[in-house]
Every structure is written in C-alpha cells, then in structure tokens.
Amino acid sequence: MKLGFIGTGIITTSVVTGFCESGMENLQIVVSPRNKERAQMLHEKYPEIVSVAADNQEVVDRSDWVFAALLPKAAEDILKPLHIGPEKKFINLVATLSLKRIEEMFGPREILADVVPLTFAANRFGPVVIYPDIPEVVDLMSHVGKPVPVDTPKQIAILRSTTGLMSAYYMLLTVIIQWCERNGLDEPSARAYITEFTGALSRKAATWDGDLEDLAREMTPGGLNWMALTHLEEKDAYTPWTEILGPILEKVIKE
C-alpha cells in the first residue's frame, strides 16, 4: 500500500507515525518536503517505510492514496497546480475544503472522503471521523484509531466542535490532581489514579447500552456521587460546557 501526504504538520506526523507503528505489511509512505524538519524526522525514524518527495507532484505520482493535510488558507493554492488522476484515492483532512470543491478541481473518483484524525493517531487510538462511510476508507483508518463514520458534512462539524473541549478537560484533570496534592498525595500517584479512573469511566460509557444519563444517576442516595452531582447541578456547572459548543460550531462552519 502506498500512501502520500501533502502537508507535513502535526496531524500528518501523528497519522504517519500511527501507520508506521501499525504493523501493516508492504506499507510505503511518501511525505511532502513542506516542513523539512518533520519530514526528515519521519524518514529517519522509519527509514524502511517513509521517504521524502522532492515536491508535491511527486507525492501524488508515487502514491495510491493521497492525503491532503494542509492549512486551510493555503490548501487550494497548493493543490490547484497538481495533477491528481481519477485513479487516485483522495483523503481530505482540510476542514474548509469540501468534497465538491475537490471534484471541481480534480474530477470525480471512486474514493473521495473527508477524514478527521486527532493527534492520538500516533498511538493508534481515539476517534477518526469519516464522511462518507466508505468501507475501504474505514478499513484503512482503523489502523490509527476507531473509525466513526457520519452521514453529512454538518455531522463532521458537530464532532469537530467537541474536540474544542480537549484543553478544558485536561484542565479539569489538572485541578483534581492539584486538589489531591494539596491534601497530601504526591503528584505521580494522583495522576496515575485519576487518569486511569477517568479512562475507565470512558470505557464504561462506551460499552453502556442504555442512556448515559441513567448511568450518571446510578448512585446511592446520600452517597459520594450523589453529593458531587447534586452540588454541581445546583451550581449549574454543566451549562458552560454546552454553551461554548455553539460558538465553537459557528467558528468551525465559518472556517
């Protein structure tokens, strides 16, 4: 399998790393020289798999799958001069570049999809949003995360918006760990417990068949979870989390 990446930023680095660590057979990856340091780093780390092209057209020519992973403002200007034949499978990672626009520039093709991986792809976990639901794309991206196919571009925007809560979530973990420290627990122990605990909560939620609110309220009246949930609901602590998602969604759609 031959994968080519036009653009060598953080997301490309993460996705390429994930593919290289996946154990896929007969994998060859060619990356553009746009970010020379990152491109060279990937080549040096995976010399048997990753090579650096002389230019973007070489990336296309040497690949079966072409990944466009460029900054939105520069994407069209960089892609327009390229010849990308209809036999190429095109994976778009540029939020502002529609599949319709890609077809206008390069013509229709059998496989054309929007994909939204995150930096977790380097470790081969985390969600990878895919539109439309093309089995071959889902199979490919399953090597670097958990594919989440959606039915419309709007649904991609909705899920992309929720990633804006990442820093807020890390800050929530930080203040809980800091509270543990203030009460006499060392930071490594607090971090080990809290990160494993919250990870277990997510795994439980992922396998829960019912409504998640039912899971949230599966607690002993007067118990520890009842105390925390009651206090936070009285403080209206959950509203700000959803309030900010509206403006984030507007920004995602506008961009």
Cβ neighbours around 113 below 10 Å, total: 20
Query: pTM score, two decimals?
Result: 0.88
Q: What is the 3-state secondary structure (H, E, C) of 111-175?
A: CEEEEECCHHHHHCCCEEEEECCCHHHHHHHCCCCEEEECCCHHHHHHHHHHHHHHHHHHHHHHH
List, for residues 181-215, the tens digit of each pLDDT value.
Answer: 999 999 999 999 999 999 999 999 999 999 999 99
How confident is the model at residue 78, as a pLDDT?
A: 96
Q: How many CB atoms lie within 10 A of CB 22?
A: 13
β-pair type (65-68, 2-6): parallel
The pLDDT, as a whole number, for residue 198 is 97
In one-letter notation, the amino acid at residue 46 is Y
The pLDDT of residue 72 is 87
The closest alpha carbon to 133, from 118, 155, 163, 161, belongs to 155
Write down the domain spans for the chain. 2-150, 164-254
pLDDT single digits (tens) 58-114: 999 999 999 999 998 899 999 999 999 999 999 999 988 999 999 999 999 999 999
- In tens, the pLDDT along 4-55 reads 999 999 999 999 999 999 999 999 999 999 889 999 999 999 999 999 999 9
One fold for 2-150 and 164-254: no
Note the CATH number of domain 164-254.
1.10.3730.10
Fold classification of 2-150 (topology level): Rossmann fold (3.40.50)
Distances in Å between the Cα of 208 and the Cα atoms of 200, 202, 204, 215, 224 are 12, 10, 6, 8, 21
pLDDT band at 253 (very low <50, low <70, confident <90, very high): confident
